[in-house]
Amino acid sequence: MCFNYQNGELFAEGVDLKEIAKQVGTPFYCYSSDKLTRNFEAYQRALAPFNATVCYSVKANPNLGVVSTLARLGSGADVVSAGEMFVALKAGISADKIVFSGVGKTPYELEEAIKAQILQINAESAAEVETINRIALSLGVKANVALRVNPDVDALTHVKITTGKKENKFGVDWDEAHELYRAAAKMEGIRLAGIAVHIGSQLLDLEPFRLAFTKIAGMVRELEAEGIYLENIDLGGGMGINYNVELPPTCSAYADVVRETLGDLGKHIIVEPGRSIAGNAGVLVTEVIYTKKMGQKNFIIVDAGMNDLVRPAMYDAWHTVLPVTKEGVAPIIADIVGPICESGDVFAKDRIIEPVQQGRLLAIMCAGAYGAAMSSIYNFRPLVPEVMAHGREFAVVRKRTSYEEMLSGHAVAPWLQGNAL
């Protein structure tokens, strides 16, 4: 395991998390280079029989160190903003391995994607297709476009990360997709490159994938019968991970579903894993500030807050919390909470854990995806450092922001300058 105890101390690969804390302070994120590599290569191995490109979903964790690690393994990128595309290119991912998803791409973002000649833009509405066509014509080029279709399949996951049902905002309505393909095929600025689907995140059951992919296969055959040929089938992401007691599917089992539903089409397969690559490759390390008891309730107050890791507050998400130093004493039941002035600033409720005192370190596990990526400066708290472990060494891959840096874009209005009243 890449995060494991050695003589009672929690390590990231060969690095003691307590030693990192001494050098960079708390809270901080720590990522395992080895775990990122293993997770990515599991997809590569499973999809090797196909003509497949693994496009890491940058939104899960856009840290340049993380994306660069994956780029050197041959990863492509799934991006949902011009900023994420900038990170992917900066990390060394070639434009012809980048797909641009998202329901609300701006004309500026579309122009940047077209100029970069990325693998494909996954368009999600007729208005977006028309905008792409107009921009491409103004540039004198053809844009590589796929339609992201909404298959109306329940992903059987949290309602806030379900994206493939008819009532969700994502994709082109299934019943309108054929007509939009016909219209796009006639547009001079469009090169129809493929079809895309993404039904949700943190899926633990393969059946929704099977249903969605079967529908996609049928649509591809129907389009080809009309003379509309597509090179790429983008299957999105969505594979879940084990946060607590979940049993997520393996990459090989996922590949079996791809083979059963799409294997006879001979298409270039694109997948967009994010959480399943970065999630269990990262932890958030935090220091206990205080402990207190109110009635029968024990509280462990730590220096990380919901601004650093919002998933428990936003999704009621479970993250295992471990002491960085095991002392082997009888556990207590406690709430692990942050310092933010919100009652929802809770990482764990009624959790069985060793009693810990002021100054002890805790590790919030499986925080590598949608952790730092969704952090904020709420309560004007600095963004925390991000660290990458590699064997017996580590490097800071994003430093803690200073207050001056946080204010660098601020300004006092002219009428407030000068002498105070």
As annotated, the active-site residues are 341
Strand order in the sheet with 15-16: 3-6, 9-12, 15-16
| Strand, coil or helix: 90 | helix
- Helices (H) and strands (E) in the chain — how many of each? 12, 21
Whether the Cβ atoms of residue 56 and residue 40 lie closer than 8 Å to each other:
yes
Q: What DSSP string describes 392-411?
A: TEEEEEEPPPPHHHHTTT--
Whether the Cβ atoms of residue 130 and residue 183 lie closer than 8 Å to each other:
no
Whether the Cβ atoms of residue 401 and residue 34 lie closer than 8 Å to each other:
no
Whether the Cβ atoms of residue 243 and residue 320 lie closer than 8 Å to each other:
yes
Whether the Cβ atoms of residue 176 and residue 149 lie closer than 8 Å to each other:
no
Rounded-to-integer distance, Cα 260 and Cα 207, Å: 12
What H or E segment, with its residue span, contains residue 386?
A: strand 386-390
Which of 372, 391, 255, 371 shows the shortest CA–CA distance to 315?
371
Which tokens belong to 73?
């393994």
State the DSSP code for 235: -
Beta strands 143-150 and 190-196: pairing type?
A: parallel
| Strand, coil or helix: 333 | strand
